[in-house]
Amino acid sequence: MLAETLRAMLERGPGQYIEFLPEPGAESLAEALVALANADGGTILIGLHPDGSVSDALPEGVEALLVRAQSLCRPPVPAGWRTLELAGGEAVAVTVSRSQQAHALSDGRVLVRSGARNRVLSPGEALQLEMARGGASFEEEPVSGATLADLDAAVIAEYAAKRAERAPRGERLAPEELLIEAGAIGRDGVPTVAGMLLFGQRPQRFVEQSSLIFVRFSGTDPRGPGGMPGYGRREELAGPLARVIEAAWRILWEEMRHEAVIPGLAREERHEYPPFAVREALVNAVCHRDYSVKGLRVEIRMFDDRLEVISPGGLPGHITLDNIVDEHYSRNPRIVRGLYYWGYIEELGLGIDRMIEEMLRDGHPAPEFVSKPHSFTVILRNARERPMGTWPGNLNPRQLQALRYLQEHKRITNREYRELCPDVSAETIRLDLVSLVEQGILLRIGDKKGTYYILK
C-alpha cells in the first residue's frame, strides 16, 4: 500500500498536497510545515527528488531535524513521520494535517501552500487566516441527537466503491475506519455535520440549510409583469450532498438550451453554457458554502441571458477576488475530500482557471465573481459570438452544399447555386440564400445581376 501511495505522489509531482525536500534544512522544513498546516495539510518527502531518485543528503537524525524545524514554528506544527525503504536508499515521509489554528515562523512570516509553492501572506491575509482558524470548523461538530442509524448504508457503500477508484490502490478500510477517516463520525461514534451532509438519510432534518434552491426565471429580470415573481420553475433539492448535486445537474441540463451546430460542416452538439463551467460553479457552491449560516441555501438562478450560482458565506480564509484563480483554501475540507472521492471534483485545488478557459473558448465572457460579506456569487453569461466556420444545425442539404462550394471558391452567385441544385426551383434557391443571409452566415454583395454572396 505504501509503495502504491508513493508511486501516485511521484506521478503527481510537487503540488498542493505534496512537497519534495531532497536536501532539507530546519528552515526549509519549517516553511513546508507551516504552509501545509495553514492550508489543507499534505506530505513532505525528505531526501527524495520529484523524479523518484534518492538524495545523498538525507540526515541521519531525522527526528532531531523535525524537532528543530518545529521549534521555528509558532505554535509548533504537529507532524508524524516514517522511513521509506526505496531501491536507491532511504527517504522520509512527513505527514502534516490541516491545523485548527494559524501558524507562523519565528521570524513572523505566515506561509500557506499555493499549488507547488509556499507563499508568504500579507499582514491582511494573515489576519484573515487567523480569524478563519479561530476554532473547530462547523463541519467537524457533532450533530446533536444523531446516531449511526441516521446514516444511509447504501450511500456509504456507494462512497466506499467510488473512493476505492481514487484512493491509492490496495488501500482497504473497514466501514467504521472509513467513516472516521472521512470525518463522518467522531471516535465516540457520533455523526459529525460533514458525515450527516455526506451520508445522512435525511440530512436536512439536522442541517436544514443544506438543501439547494433552483429557480428558472422568464426573461432577464427576477420580477415579472406588475412586480410579481417572474419564475416559471422552482425546485428545492434535499438529501445527502451527492444526491443534491446530481439532482441539480439534471435540472440544469434540462433547462439549458442545446443546439446542433456545424463547425467545418461537421455536425456537433453545442450547449448554452460549457458543461464543465456549470458543474464547477455548482460543486464549488455546495463544497465551500458556510454551513453554519442558517436560513440561507445555495441558490441557482437561471435567466435567459445568465446563470447565477449563489453560495452563503463570504470567501473563506485568505482567499480574495485577486487570488481566487491561483490560491486554494477549503472551508469544509472533509466535504471537499468526500466529494473528490465521489468524483464530483476533477482535481483538488484546480477548477476556477479551467472554468474561465472553457467559457472563453466557447466564445462567452469570462465568469464574473461577486464577493460579499455573507455570500459569494458566480455569474455565467451566455452571450456568445459564433466562431468563424460554425453554423446552426438547421441547414438543409442544399445549403450545406453551397457552403462547401464557398469554402473552396470564396464566393457564390445565384446562377452557380442553381447549377449545384438543378432539380430545385429558382424561388427555392432564392429563399435558401435569403435564409443564409438572415442567419448571419452569408453576406450579400452587389445588386441585381452583379449580386454574389460570401461567407460573413
Higher per-residue pLDDT: 450 or 194: 194
54-86 burial, b for 16+ CB within 10 Å, e for fewer?
Answer: bbeebeeebeebbeebbebbbeebebeeeebee
Return the DSSP state at 387. Answer: P
Question: Which residues does residue 380 pair with via DSSP β-bridges, in sequence order?
Answer: 307
CA 38 to chain CA centroid, nearest Å: 21
Go through the domains of the chain in sequence order and give each one's CATH number. Answer: 2-122 (3.30.950.30), 136-387 (3.30.565.60), 397-455 (1.10.10.10)
Q: How confident is the model at residue 384 (pLDDT cuts 50, 70, 90)?
A: low
Q: How confident is the model at residue 258 (pLDDT cuts 50, 70, 90)?
A: confident
pLDDT the model gives residue 105: 97
Tens-digit pLDDT profile for residues 432-445: 999 998 887 888 88
- CA pair distance 5, 83, nearest whole angstrom: 14
Nearest by Cα to 59 from 72, 43, 51, 47? 47
- CA pair distance 248, 375, nearest whole angstrom: 19
pLDDT the model gives residue 410: 82
Q: How confident is the model at residue 142 (pLDDT cuts 50, 70, 90)?
A: very high
Tens-digit pLDDT profile for residues 308-331: 999 999 888 888 888 888 788 888
Taking the CB of residue 388, how many other CB atoms lie within 10 A of it? 8
- CA pair distance 220, 35, nearest whole angstrom: 44
pLDDT the model gives residue 18: 93
pLDDT(171) > 90:
no
pLDDT(340) > 80:
yes
**Range from 33-47, 368-382, 398-412 carrying the lowest mean pLDDT:** 398-412
pLDDT the model gives residue 391: 65
pLDDT(159) > 80:
yes
Segment 191-195 shows an average pLDDT of 97
- CA pair distance 448, 428, nearest whole angstrom: 18
pLDDT the model gives residue 388: 46
* Cell of residue 81, nine digits: 513521520
- pTM of model > 0.85: no
pLDDT(390) > 70:
no
pLDDT(189) > 60:
yes
DSSP code string of 10-30: HHH-SBTTEEEESS--HHHHH
**Range from 55-64, 251-260, 351-360 carrying the lowest mean pLDDT:** 55-64
Higher per-residue pLDDT: 360 or 190: 190
pLDDT(1) > 50:
no
296-324 burial, b for 16+ CB within 10 Å, e for fewer?
Answer: bbbbbbbbeebbbbbbbbebbbbbeeeeb
Residues of the chain above pLDDT 90, percent: 50
Taking the CB of residue 274, how many other CB atoms lie within 10 A of it? 20
Higher per-residue pLDDT: 333 or 58: 333
Higher per-residue pLDDT: 131 or 251: 251
Averaged confidence pLDDT in the chain: 87
Q: How confident is the model at residue 192 (pLDDT cuts 50, 70, 90)?
A: very high
**Range from 86-100, 121-135, 171-185, 233-247 carrying the lowest mean pLDDT:** 121-135
